[in-house]
């Protein structure tokens, strides 16, 4: 069975339809062209990063709300924390753009998935989602390195370091599902552990 896609534009680059749609939006901030340290491509990359981090936050918030409604209060609290962390990651890109006199876009966001089959599915979807995010950031890092944009490359390394931590968290939950199973008692114990 094919897993649902979490982000509609996960495989696209910021220069694709997302950036085009952003340019057509009313009141779109103008990009400064007089700063030689930042290119329009970098601006597009970082506005896309903001959008993707905010989408991640909304997805994890949706998961948290579903978990809470289903009685997984420990997991709900943890996924709410994950949601909040994603917003801080969006701020990294905003701060970078503002440092160069560029007003970041405030993106329109699509509604994330609302219904889930259970805690195991949420763990698996979150694991897959973090892989998608890592691939996106690796693309920006490769572009920054290739173009000699050392300042942007340093920012991407900060994102990638964070992704290692994200993968570690999700891999731990995946390993626990594999080791202890998905029966009600195992999930209750896992939920208790997630509560901290």
* Whole-Å CA distances, 59 to 77, 79, 107, 130, 160: 14, 9, 15, 12, 20
Is 88:166 a contact under the CB 8 Å cutoff?
Answer: no
Domains of the chain: 38-194 (1.20.1260.10)
The alpha-carbon radius of gyration of the chain (Å, integer) is: 18
pLDDT above 70 coverage of the chain, percent: 83
Work out the pLDDT band at 36, boundaries 50, 70, 90: confident
pLDDT at 29 over 90: no
The tokens of 11 are what?
Answer: 């495989």
User: Could you tell me how far CA 98 lies from the centroid of its own chain?
Assistant: 20
In 3D space, the residue among 139, 117, 137, 130 whose CA is nearest the CA of residue 169 turns out to be 130
pLDDT at 8: 38
Scanning the chain, the segments in alpha helix (DSSP H) are 17-24, 40-69, 73-99, 119-147, 150-180, 184-194
* The residue to which tokens 């943890």 are assigned: 78
pLDDT in tens, 38-58: 999 999 999 999 999 999 999
Q: What angle do CA 118, 55, 192 make, to 5 degrees?
A: 35
**36 or 27, which is more confident:** 36
pLDDT at 196: 87
SS (H, E, C) 39-92: CHHHHHHHHHHHHHHHHHHHHHHHHHHHHHHCCCHHHHHHHHHHHHHHHHHHHH
Work out the pLDDT band at 94, boundaries 50, 70, 90: very high
pLDDT at 1: 43
pLDDT in tens, 123-154: 999 999 999 999 999 999 999 999 999 999 99
**14 or 88, which is more confident:** 88
* The residue to which tokens 């890109």 are assigned: 93
Work out the pLDDT band at 183, boundaries 50, 70, 90: very high
Sign of the four-CA dihedral 165, 85, 49, 175? positive
pLDDT at 7: 40
In 3D space, the residue among 45, 55, 20 whose CA is nearest the CA of residue 142 turns out to be 45
pLDDT at 26 over 70: no
Work out the pLDDT band at 32, boundaries 50, 70, 90: low
pLDDT at 187: 98
pLDDT at 35: 81
The secondary structure of residue 27, as a DSSP letter, is T
């Amino acid at each position: 069975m094919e897993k649902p896609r979490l982000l509609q534009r996960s495989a696209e680059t910021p220069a694709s339809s997302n950036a085009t749609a952003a340019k057509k939006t009313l009141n779109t901030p103008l990009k400064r062209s007089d700063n030689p340290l930042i290119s329009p491509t970098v601006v597009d990359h970082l506005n896309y990063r903001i959008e993707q981090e905010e989408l991640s936050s909304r997805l994890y918030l949706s998961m948290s709300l579903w978990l809470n409604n289903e009685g997984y209060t420990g997991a709900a609290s943890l996924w709410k924390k994950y949601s909040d962390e994603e917003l801080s990651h969006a701020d990294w890109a905003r701060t970078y753009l503002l440092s160069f006199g560029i007003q970041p876009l405030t993106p329109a966001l699509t509604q994330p998935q609302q219904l889930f089959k259970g805690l195991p599915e949420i763990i698996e979807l979150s694991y897959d989602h973090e892989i998608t995010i890592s691939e996106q950031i690796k693309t920006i890092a490769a572009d920054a390195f290739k173009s000699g944009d050392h300042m942007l490359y340093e920012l991407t390394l900060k994102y990638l370091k964070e992704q290692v931590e994200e993968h570690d968290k999700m891999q731990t939950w995946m390993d626990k599902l594999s080791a202890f199973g998905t029966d009600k008692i195992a999930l209750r114990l896992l939920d208790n552990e997630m509560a901290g």
